[in-house]
Chain A
Amino acid sequence: MTPGPRPTAPSALFPALVVTGITLLALFLALPILALVLRVPPGVLAAHLSEPVVQEALRLSLLTSVAATAVVVALGLPAAYLLATRAFPGKRVLEVMVDLPMVLPPTVAGIALLLAFGRMGLAGRALAVFGISIPFTTTAVVMAQVFMSAPFFIAAARAGFAGVDSRLLEAAATLRASEAHRFRRVMLPLALPSLIAGAAMAWARALGEFGATITFAGNLPGVTQTMPLAVYISLQSDLDAAVALSILLLAWSFALLLALRSAPAFWMGGGADARRSDPAQAR
């Protein structure tokens, strides 16, 4: 007996599963955001955002996150360049060290920073000799943010550098360009979209930093109380204020991601054809 035509159910089942999954996920992601936005009327929102505590937190968040991003870019570029272009002993260890904060619970990072730079810490005791105490200062906020956001920049920058066609770097070398010149005139411009994307991700991470900050820097309004800390504190006293702050952070993050997603189309114009993967060199 020959089998009849296959029942159509299995082929219809797959798309149905996909659609159901997507719908559930979209609802799960959109609902909390919707709830947040619908909770407070715009007038009340504006009133909360003009409160001094909110303004202070906003100013501090902007200041520290921009400073942290600058430090991350300055210190991360050499590491990313090295990891992308060289093989050296201990590379694996450096890679893990650089990536670790990405998977580390932020409070653990905060404790580690405290044990290193706290008054009784490894480096802290030496700093205390010079009268320098870092914990519970704005500097500590920046340090916590740098610690937590560096991997995001380094990973993106490294991928950007590694994606630059090695044949272009070789061509530059045969055109009398030193390594520094090759970096500045070939690598940097071609990896720029990745560097900007990485810096933006690091900035977003620094802006949202909570656990390491509150552990290492504390929660002093005007000194270490950044936006996420202010959200958490106001949650215990004034829910609407917390919601107002949250909406601000949400809008900020949304705008940042949207800008990143739409920008590469025109950034990449020139770089796109240089970023092909390098086919094996023909002999």
Chain B
Amino acid sequence: MLDVRTRLRLGSFQLDVALTAAMGKVTVVVGESGSGKTTLLRLVAGLLRPDQGAITLGARVLVDRERSVFVPPESRPVGYVAQDYALFPHLTAEENVGFGLTASRLPRIEVRERTRAALERFGLGGLATRHPRELSGGQQQRVALARALVLDPEVLLLDEPLSALDLVSRRSVRAELRRTLESLSCATLLVTHQPDEALSLGDRMVVLESGRITASGTQGELAHDPRSPYIAEFFGPASGR
């Protein structure tokens, strides 16, 4: 179980959240742009330090301001897929996927085997020697996912995983992503502002408005009882309300 209780001020913006994410489940964080979604992910990844509070993963403390604990990003069992994937442009798909294994100083043979297996799993076997600029948006996303998941993270963070794709490929990639997410045993936090993604990809929803969590629950519960105008609008006429 991932447990986040933190407060962070960035200029005039304040993020103040308390949420939990269960292992093997996808928790969707929805909210308008500027509501603090990416900031939340960056806190969990260790790319930002909270002003107050703690983030724990089971019995392990990732950050705790009161006890002056801060585990740097490279030491957290957290995978982070940024909105634009942030693939290394100078490395091939295979080198991108193997990057974290090499950085972990694993034996070369193990790096190659696990990288190959991950490439196969994501249907990238034939694209191993391509550079990111030679891949389609959907293929880039698979490389980014493979690169994060090959390290067997306990938490997976996905920031608007479909927003970099064109509308045509979005639907097929979404179905593919759903199958991947269903197979994972880690706790997944998925950020989106698209209702269709929130409804189809997640087990639970957390609504973030201006840096605060205004509602959380299953999609059914929130659709049934929208606690704010934003949530009501989020489900819109499609939800039948």
Contact with A along B23-56 (1 / 0, CB 8 A): 0000000000111111100100111000000000
CA distance A127 to B113 in the complex (A): 57
Please tell me if B72 contacts chain A, counting CB pairs below 8 Å.
yes
Binary flags per residue of A179-191, CB closer than 8 Å to B gives 1, else 0: 0010001100110
In contact, B36 and A172 (Cβ under 8 angstroms)? no
* Chain A CB within 8 A of B65 CB: no
Given the interface pairs A170-B73, A283-B13, the reply to whether A175 lies near B100 with Cβ below 8 Å is yes
Most buried by B among A171, A172, A189: A171
- Is B72 a contact of A173 with CB atoms below 8 Å? yes
A176 CB–B CB distance under 8 Å = yes
How many angstroms from the CA of A174 to the CA of B13 in the assembled complex? Answer: 25
Smallest CB–CB gap between B92 and chain A, Å? 10
Asked if B230 is at the interface (CB within 8 A of a chain A CB), the reply is no
Q: Which residues of B contact A173 (CB under 8 A)?
A: 46-47, 72-74
CB within 8 Å of A: which of B131-156?
A: 131-133, 147-148, 151
Interface contact B133-A273, CB-CB below 8 Å: yes
CB contacts under 8 Å to B, within A227-266, are none
Nearest chain A CB to B149's CB is how many angstroms away?
Answer: 11
Assess whether A271 is in contact with B35, with CB atoms less than 8 Å apart.
no
Interface bracket on A: 20 to 34
Whether the Cβ atoms of A283 and B82 lie closer than 8 Å is no
B234 touches A (CB below 8 Å) = no
- CB of A274 closer than 8 Å to a CB of B: yes
Q: Which of B78, B84, B90, B104 has the most CB of A within 10 A?
A: B90
Interface flags for B10-23 (1: CB within 8 Å of A; 0: not) read 10010000000000
Majority SS at the chain A contact face: helix
* A100 CA to B147 CA, complexed, in Å: 45
Are A175 and B99 also in contact (CB < 8 A) when A270-B90, A283-B36 are? yes
Number of interface residues of B (CB under 8 A): 40
Encode A261-283 as 1/0 by CB contact (under 8 A) with B: 00000000011111000000111
Q: A167-B84, A282-B33, A283-B36 are in contact. Are A174 and B89 (CB under 8 A)?
A: no
Q: Are A190 and B99 in contact (CB under 8 A)?
A: no
- Tell me if B89 and A181 are in contact (CB < 8 A): no
Interface centre among B33, B73, B83, B89 (most CB of A within 10 A): B89
Answer whether residue B86 sits at the interface, using C-beta atoms and an 8 A cutoff.
yes
A70 within 8 A of B: no
Q: Which of B56-81 contact A (CB under 8 A)?
A: 72-76, 78-80
Q: Residues 85-105 of chain B: 1 if any A CB is under 8 Å from the residue's CB, otherwise 0?
A: 011111000000001101110
Taking a contact as CB atoms closer than 8 A, the residue among B34, B86, B104, B148 that contacts A170 in the complex is B86
Among B38, B90, B99, B132, contact of A283 (Cβ-Cβ < 8 Å): B38
- Indicate if the CB atoms of B90 and A274 lie closer than 8 Å: yes
The reply to whether A170 and B39 form a contact with Cβ atoms under 8 Å apart is no
Q: Say if the beta carbon of A45 comes within 8 Å of chain B.
A: no
Alpha-carbon separation in the docked complex, A218 to B103 (Å):
50
Asked, given contacts A175-B100, A177-B99, A181-B103, whether A273 binds B13 with beta carbons under 8 Å apart, the answer is no
A210 to B145, CA, bound (A): 57
Say which residue of B42, B99, B133 sits within 8 Å of A185 (CB atoms).
B99
Contact of A177 among B80, B89, B103 (CB under 8 A): B103
Shortest Cβ distance from residue A277 to the other chain B in the assembled complex, whole angstroms: 14
Complex interface: chain A residues within 8 A of B73 (CB):
170, 173-174
* Min C-beta distance of A9 to chain B, whole Å: 50
CA distance in complex: A178, B73 (Å): 9
Q: List 25 A-B contacts (CB under 8 A).
A: A165-B86, A167-B82, A167-B86, A168-B88, A170-B45, A170-B73, A170-B82, A171-B86, A171-B87, A173-B46, A173-B47, A173-B74, A174-B47, A175-B100, A175-B147, A177-B74, A190-B89, A270-B131, A270-B133, A272-B89, A273-B132, A281-B42, A282-B38, A282-B83, A283-B35
Q: A167-B84, A168-B88, A174-B46 are in contact. List 14 more A-B contacts (CB 8 A).
A: A170-B45, A174-B45, A174-B78, A176-B103, A177-B74, A178-B74, A181-B103, A186-B88, A270-B131, A270-B133, A273-B132, A274-B88, A274-B90, A283-B10
Residues of A whose CB lies within 8 Å of any CB of B are 165, 167-168, 170-178, 181, 185-186, 189-190, 270-274, 281-283
Chain B residues engaging chain A, CB cutoff 8 angstroms = 10, 13, 33-39, 42, 45-47, 72-76, 78-80, 82-84, 86-90, 99-100, 102-104, 131-133, 147-148, 151
5 nearest A-B residue pairs (beta carbon): A175-B100, A177-B103, A171-B86, A174-B80, A173-B73
